[in-house]
A and B are shown apart, each in its own frame.
Chain A
Amino acid sequence: MITFEGAAKHYPDGTVAVAGLDLTVETGRTTVFVGPSGSGKTTSLRMINRMVEPTSGTVRIDGDDIRGQDPAVLRRSIGYVIQQAGLFPHRTVLDNIATVPLLLGWRRGRARARAAELMDLVGLEPSQGRRYPHQLSGGQQQRVGVARALAADPPVLLMDEPFSAVDPVVRASLQDELLRLQKELRKTIVFVTHDIDEAVRLGDRIAVFRPGGVLAQYDAPERLLAAPVDDFVESFIGYDRGVRRLSFFPARNLTLDDGGVFEEEDRVERARTAVEATGVPWALVVARDRTPLGWVSARQLAEAPTGVVLGGLDLAPYGHTFNVATDSLRAALDAAVLSPAGRAVGVDEDGCVVGFVSQDDLGAAIWSVSE
């Protein structure tokens, strides 16, 4: 547990970087500090490893005032990942990762063995250990940065905008990787970003900072999106917070319609009867293995000659599907919005159709969870 008690940083020229921060970072969870530039999020992070000394107030790790420890010793027990990785250009990847173990006085062989272990953990090929940083892509460099921070197995990991310098696709994969690592390692992570989407994606708890170094709101991400405390937080989160909040609600509670699902060998009249009975203007056609093929409209069914099989009709594309077991309401809504039938197709792990849900029914489900 990391505790800020009235921690403030004032510079001699009168600038206030952090104006008295009171906040508790929970052990084993990911806490994200997010805010625009000049909001003191990085300064607050750097107080934890004494890269910045507060001008007043205290920072404690597990109850102990960090000023009681030699800064160098303290820092060796805290992982530190910075923007663009900050790898040493004159050292191989393996030796970069081994930096802190070597500082701690490990023998070179043991430090390198540990470094090799970490390369595997963060998804780097063993052959890359002998390369130099400039030979790696930005995403690979950042993986090395994370491996280097984890080398001495510190309980706390500080990450200062680590993924901001890579392209969006690589950033998403690095975020996934971090989530996977964290599931396994359960470190106390403090993560700084200016990207609210990244914060919502990674954080168990999110601290929103406003300019002038003031903490505006500290909450779980779904609470933050549901109930921003003021106009600043609301505008910082962005206009589509309602939709993004749906990421926190699972799609598995949706009621799916499977009465309108037919196989490609079924005859037109069978679907026509069902559609006329329910009044649903679309039917979904699937293959024999239940993978989706496409939509057929009630009008097509009415006009098609009797005896033709559904697979012989001109089907409208089914768009993208959502996974009923693992996806969120947000994915389901997205699938419904993009579907020509206005209906989202839900599939299981094998890609087989479970049923579909209309925008109206989704709306009702969203209303019920938003209460």
Chain B
Amino acid sequence: MDILCAIDTGVLCGVEQWFTDPAQWTGPAGIPVRLAEHAYYSVVALLVATAIAVPLGLLTGHTGVGGFLTTSLANFARALPTIGVLFLIVLLAGIGLVPVLCALVALAVPPILVNTHEGVRGVEPRLRDAALGMGMRGREVLFRLELPVAAPLVLIGMRTAAVQVVATATIAAYVGVGGLGRYIVDGQARQDLSMMLGGSILVVLLAVATTLLFAGLRRVLVAPGLRAEAASAR
């Protein structure tokens, strides 16, 4: 098993030993539990952000009202340092999961909101004209035309948000609620490079898995006509 240690006795060997240590895979501080915590925080943050950003983006995109304001706010929010938001909310609300989720949601909302808004705005005017001219009402135009046509862009926004959330959920460790960030924070405290690297690798793998998940979602949720159209436009 000691493949890496056979060719290198330094850092890589240390990381391999860290991963292959049986103790690493059991107990409340083991990799499975930390991975589950991390994924759980990420999924909750993404769902909450989606529930806020998609309806808001559909509304501003469809009506054209408040579009400038929301996209400006979203871009402003993008400039906020997530760790700053976390500590601010911890100061206001105390230690716990809520500040972590708030910080992650604040991170995830902007890309989803902007993409949903732009996706709906970007529906060709002649398609909207055709929809209205055939007798669709506002709600029908939104759900039968604008949302499905905007879906690819909405999903890209969610994917961007999800990868950022997965990468940033490491900050949960700063306020003591676990996740893969523990390995990075604890490794740093103990000067244990193998542990820090191991934790980082797990985060990267989770981010890659997230990207793959969205590629799958795209196949399910985006109409074939739009998938191929986007492909030929590229």
Contact = CB atoms under 8 A, between A and B. Distances in A.
Interface of A: 49, 51, 71-77, 80, 82-84, 86-92, 99-100, 103, 132-135, 148, 158
B136 A103 contact: yes
A73 B148 contact: no
Contacts, number: 74
Nearest to B127: A86
A144 to B, nearest CB: 12
B133 A51 contact: yes
Given A82-B130, A86-B126, A88-B145, A72 B226 contact: no
Contact of A134 (B127, B137, B232): B232
A134 B130 contact: no
Interface in B108-129: 124, 126-127, 129
Nearest to A74: B135
Q: Which 5 A-B pairs have the closest CB atoms?
A: A132-B225, A86-B130, A76-B135, A75-B135, A90-B223
B134 A89 contact: no
B135 A86 contact: no
Nearest to B133: A80
B229 interface: yes
Contacts of A77: 135
29 contacts: A51-B132, A71-B135, A72-B137, A73-B135, A75-B132, A75-B133, A75-B135, A76-B135, A77-B135, A86-B127, A86-B130, A88-B130, A88-B144, A88-B145, A88-B149, A89-B223, A89-B225, A90-B149, A90-B151, A90-B223, A90-B226, A91-B225, A100-B134, A100-B135, A103-B135, A103-B140, A132-B224, A132-B225, A135-B228
A61 to B, nearest CB: 15
Interface in B204-231: 222-226, 228-229
Contact of B126 (A74, A84, A132, A148): A84
A85 B222 CA distance: 22
Given A80-B133, A90-B151, 8 more contacts: A80-B130, A82-B126, A83-B126, A86-B127, A89-B149, A99-B134, A103-B140, A134-B229
Contact of A72 (B130, B135, B148, B228): B135
A216 B222 CA distance: 50
Contacts of B131: 88
Contacts of A71: 135
A364 to B, nearest CB: 51
Contacts of A134: 225, 228-229, 232
Given A82-B126, A132-B224, A89 B229 contact: yes
Interface in B18-54: none
Nearest to A130: B224
Nearest to B132: A51
B135 A82 contact: no
A320 to B, nearest CB: 40
Contacts of B136: 72, 103
B220 to A, nearest CB: 14
Interface in B130-176: 130-137, 140, 144-145, 148-149, 151
B143 to A, nearest CB: 12
A156 to B, nearest CB: 12
A87 B135 CA distance: 15
A76 B228 contact: no
B148 to A, nearest CB: 4
Given A83-B126, A86-B127, A92 B225 contact: yes
A92 B151 CA distance: 17
Contacts of A91: 223, 225
Contacts of A92: 225
A128 to B, nearest CB: 13
